[in-house]
């Protein structure tokens, strides 16, 4: 039964992640992202990491996807007719390079610091300790950059009417 659930959640996650990338409608892509995160949460539950599954659903599926949908609807984007713009080709190439770098890093993975020298897997306690001590500043900077990006999207998407500005 566990193998069946693993294959089910893995297929759900991979298919929905692929649909996020190839979908032209931003709202449908956000919904596929939500389903992909639900599949990932199911995989975490299979690994007996219910806390991570709950946090993933609460933070990412609940807040981040809702924020994406809010911003997409606020921008009211229309689909582009040109298939491959130079910027999208460059972004795709950069994304592919980052994917290759991630696969290379995973294949040559090293243990987190402060893990037992016996080669045991890092625990959630070790991860949390590193996150809130060594990597606290980068996490705070990323959160601040996300806040700035959200505010920038809201400001840029605001419609300006020159007739209203003259009054």
Give domain status of residue 95, yes or no: no
45-53 long-range contacts, CB within 8 A, separation 24+: 46/2, 46/5, 46/6, 46/9, 49/124, 51/124, 52/124
Per-residue pLDDT of the chain (167 residues; tens, 9 = 90+): 888 999 999 999 999 999 998 888 888 888 999 999 999 999 999 988 888 888 888 888 888 888 888 777 777 666 555 566 788 788 888 888 988 888 888 777 765 555 555 555 667 787 778 878 888 888 888 888 878 877 877 777 776 666 665 55
Give domain status of residue 89, yes or no: no
pTM higher than 0.85? no
Of 30, 35, 39, the closest CA to residue 70 belongs to 30
Residues 1 and 73 in one domain: yes
The whole domain housing 64 covers: 1-77
Of 66, 58, 29, the closest CA to residue 150 belongs to 66
Backbone angles phi, psi at 120, to 5 degrees: -70, 155
Average pLDDT, the chain: 80
Residues 72 and 17 in one domain: yes
Give domain status of residue 43, yes or no: yes
Number of domains in the chain: 2
If you count them, how many residues does the chain have?
A: 167
Of 69, 65, 85, 89, the closest CA to residue 77 belongs to 69
Q: Would you call 1 exposed, middle or buried from its count of C-beta atoms within 10 A (0-12, 13-18, 19+)?
A: exposed
Here the CATH number for the domain that contains residue 11 is 1.20.120.1200
């Amino acid at each position: 039964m566990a193998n069946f659930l693993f294959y089910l959640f893995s297929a759900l996650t991979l298919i929905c992640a692929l649909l996020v990338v190839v979908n032209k409608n931003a709202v449908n892509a956000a919904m596929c992202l939500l389903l992909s995160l639900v599949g990932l949460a199911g995989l975490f539950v299979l690994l007996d990491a219910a806390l991570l599954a709950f946090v993933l659903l609460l933070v990412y599926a609940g807040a981040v996807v809702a924020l994406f949908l809010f911003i997409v609807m606020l921008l009211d984007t229309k689909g582009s007719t040109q298939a491959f713009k130079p910027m999208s080709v460059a972004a795709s190439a950069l994304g592919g390079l980052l994917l290759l770098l991630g696969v290379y890093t995973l294949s040559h993975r090293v243990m987190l610091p402060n893990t037992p020298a016996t080669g045991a897997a890092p625990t959630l306690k070790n991860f949390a300790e590193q996150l809130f001590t060594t990597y606290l500043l980068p996490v705070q900077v990323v959160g601040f950059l996300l806040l700035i990006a959200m505010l920038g999207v809201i400001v840029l998407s605001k419609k300006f009417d020159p007739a209203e500005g003259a009054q």
